[in-house]
Every structure is written in C-alpha cells, then in structure tokens.
A = this chain, B = another copy of it.
Amino acid sequence: MTTVRAATRELLRSRGATTVFGNPGSTELPFLQDFPEDFRYVLGLQEAVVVGMADGHAQATGRTALVNLHSAPGVGNAMGAIVTAAANRTPMVVTAGQQVRAMMTLEAPLTSVDATLLPRPAVKWAYEPPRPQDVPAALARAFHIAESAPRGPVFLSLPMDDFDVELDAAEARAARHAAARRVGGAAQADRAEVEALARKLMTAVDPVLVTGGAVDAEGAWDAVVALAERRGLPVWASSAEGRVGFPETHPLYQGVLPPAIGPLAQTLAGHDLVLVAGAPVFRYHPCVPGPLLPEGTELTLLTSDPGEAARAPVGDALVAGLRPTLELLCELVDKRVDDEAAHRAGDAPVEIPEADGEPMSASIALAAIAGAAPADTVWVHESPSTVQAFRDHVRVDRPGSFLTATGGGRGFGPAAAYRVPVTFVVPASREYAALRSFGRFANAPDVPGLDLCALARGYGVPAHRATDPAHLAELVGAATAGQDGPVLIEAPVTGVPPVL
C-alpha cells in the first residue's frame, strides 16, 4: 500500500522539487516525518525570509520552488514575500499545514479559517483538497498552474492527518499518472501576425526596441540580441524590472527608460515604431501627466502574459512565448545594415576610485564594488536609493546575472544566504532614506541605530566595515575569492535620495 505521504514525495521527485523551503510547526510535522535522504529542507526563522529564499532559488534555477509554512500565522507572515513573488512572476507552490480534519469545524487552535481566502489575491490558485486522497492530484495541478504564463505562486492548505492515509490501487495509479504529466512549453505567435510585425519593422523609419525582465526569465536573451543586431535597433530597458533583458555593455544599449509618463514619451520621441519585448507598457511611479506616446508613434507589445496585454494603456499586443516568437521574427526580418558598432567590444575594466568624502558617497562605493567584483558575479540589488549609482557603475551583460524584487517589498536579497557564497554589501547611510522626507517635521519617528556588523555576527555571518573605497574594494575582493559562505560588508555612505 502507498500512503498519501509516499505518493506526494514521488510526485515532488518527478517535478524536481526535492528542496523544501520552510518554517514548520506542529501542523507541518506529518509532512516532514521520515524525511527522505534525497530531499533537502532549507529552514528560515521568519517566513518572509523563507519565501525570499525560495523566490531567489526559483529565479536562479528556472524551477518551481516548494514552500512549507505553518498554518494561518505562517502564511500571514509570508504574505509580503508572496506578493513580491507574484510581482516577480516566480513559479512557486506554497503549502501550509492545517489542523486535523476532525478539529477544523470546531476551529481548534491552528485551524486556518477560510484558508483558501487568506493568500489571495497574491496567488493564482488556492485550494484545500476535499479528501486526503486528493493531495497528490492537487499538488500536481498546483505545479502546472504555477508554471503556466504568467508564472506565479499558488497555494495548498493540507490538513495534517492527510499524509498517513493509504491510497487504494486506483488512487495510487492516478497519483502516478499525475506525477508523469508534462505540459508543453511556450507557444509561438501566429505566423501571419509575426509576418505583419516583421514588415512593420522593415518599413519603419526609425524603430526602437524596449526590453524587460521576462526576456531573461524566458530564455530569450540571445533572440532579442540577434533581433536588435539584425535590424540595428537601439534598445532601452524598461524601468523597475526584476531582471535584465539585454546586455548593458552592448553598443546598441541606450539605458533605462524614465518611469514617468511625460519623460518616457519624450525619450521615445522621433521613433515611429516601438517594439516592446517582455516588459510592461509601461511602469510609471511618479504620476507625471502627459501623452502616453509621442504623436504618430506606433507600439507593439510581445508578451507571454495575457494580463499584461490587456492592461497596457496604449498600442497593440501579441500574446505568445517570447523566445520562439522573437526567433521567428528575427528570421523574417532582413538584415539591413552591417553595423559594425553593434559588435563593438565592451567597456574597459573599471578602476577603483578615490574617496570623495568621509563617508564616501554611494556612487563611489558602487564604483569600488563594481571594480572589485569578479566577472561572473550574480548581482542581487535591493537598495532603491542607490539604484542610479548602481546602474552607473554595474553593467549587467550575461543572462541571469541580475535579480531584484519588483513588487515594492524588500528583503528578497538577504534571504539568499543559506550557507551560499553571497557577499552582502550594505551602503549604510545611517538614515532611513524613505523617512528623510518627513524628517524635518515635528515628531518624526526616531530611526533606530543598528549595528549591522553585530547583527550579522549574531547570525554567524562574518562581517566587516569598510573605511574608504580602497578598503571596500579590498574587502569585496577578499570576500568573493574562494568564498564558502556569506560575508557582510558595511559601507558607510552619505545620505542619498529615496526612490520608492
């Protein structure tokens, strides 16, 4: 006989989901009982951290992350990070334990009341199986939903007495069927529509390309570079994206679009056609009124997310997988100019700068870090007030080498620290920049004086405080050379203007 527990594990193995990120309590223990050798449980002490780790893991590996939380309080604590995972379009299956079925109607302690309502609207699907035997099928379905475009978190509430239940032969066979299922990859936009778009691209006088993080997430980096080079398209990056969709060292690369209506339209002025690949149209944060597009400019959006296609306030859209569609589009576009500039080599290596004050500015700190970091660095950025300085000094030039959280929440980066070789560099201005704006008013809240190095050491993480750019570069260099665990470097900087 097979139990629900055994069938569930088979299913997780078949999905490659043997790493579980969690913070369990009593209601999750039955799921963990006899935890198999080939599984790994990555423990976080607060749920925001757990989901942050899972999010980073899913984005780095491209595989759906499995999360294990403790009834209602656990899901509650994780909700901010789940909202962020939804904004990041991260495939994630979030499970939470539930009281034993016999105690739920009584609302005994640890009953998650209305469990499937709790995680909405941040999840694509929320379900509590009506019988123990349905757990494997529900889990299989959860993975497939999480992985369909637009990818995102889903939720299952699992009563703790379900795992010991035995499956009969038909149920066991159905669970094996569920484990064996595969749902096919990204579709290509209808050929006629791509042909029409190719014609537009060829006849446009001055077309321009805008790329977003989905290009990286969907493995379309090479396709978009090929298209830009073939047609000689200048390329802008969409703002506030969680990933980078085009090499920032490429000669066709123009920079990041401003995130405000008027300035953005001004930036695109002169182009008669804007092709947007895998980015929202558009992400504005400050509300600066103005025209959405320059007069006479046409826009087409390629996206695999029907919601983004519907939400765009301007321009047409094609909903399809980015990689196959961009490959077809590239094939259909004639090579017009052999633009040598498009293949120019990247920038010269960055040098370590001199200090510009005491403490140094954030810009100098970022320059020092960029100069000292290894060529194969994967950047995780979570300091909104230094985003401009970061962009000035760090040029992302490989797929998958930059991640940030897009939903407005923080804490995604630090979560990535489970004995992995991460170097945390904290540009510490000793101000809470988001609060500075009202600091001049009476009764502004006191900003606590944190000793970041002490806190890091409290968690067992080696920590250092940089005194100047050269010291900072030296610390970065040392930390990243032969690193076998996390290191924190505090870089005292002057205050910087807040962004979000």
Contact = CB atoms under 8 A, between A and B. Distances in A.
Question: Which of A35, A133, A159, A454 is the most central at the interface, judged by chain B CB atoms within 10 Å of its CB?
Answer: A454
Given A317-B183, A321-B187, A445-B41, A114 B121 contact: yes
B188 A188 contact: yes
B285 A320 contact: no
Contact of A100 (B287, B292, B320): B287
Interface of A: 22, 24-26, 29, 32-37, 39-43, 45-48, 70-84, 99-110, 113-114, 116-118, 120-122, 127-131, 133-134, 137-138, 141, 144-145, 148-149, 159, 161, 170, 173-174, 177-178, 181-191, 193, 240, 259, 283-285, 287, 289-293, 306-307, 309-321, 324-325, 406-410, 432, 434-435, 437-438, 441-460, 498-500
Chain A interface mostly: loop
A495 to B, nearest CB: 16
Contacts of A24: 434-435
B460 A458 contact: no
A79 B305 CA distance: 28
A136 to B, nearest CB: 10
Contacts of A438: 29, 32-33, 35
A188 B185 contact: no
Nearest to A306: B148
B131 A321 contact: no
Contact of A457 (B29, B80, B292, B454): B454
Contact of A181 (B181, B312, B408, B410): B312
Which of A108, A189, A316 has the most chain B CB atoms closer than 10 A to its own CB?
A108
A22 to B, nearest CB: 8
Given A443-B41, A451-B457, A181 B314 contact: yes
A418 to B, nearest CB: 9
A132 to B, nearest CB: 10
A438 to B, nearest CB: 5
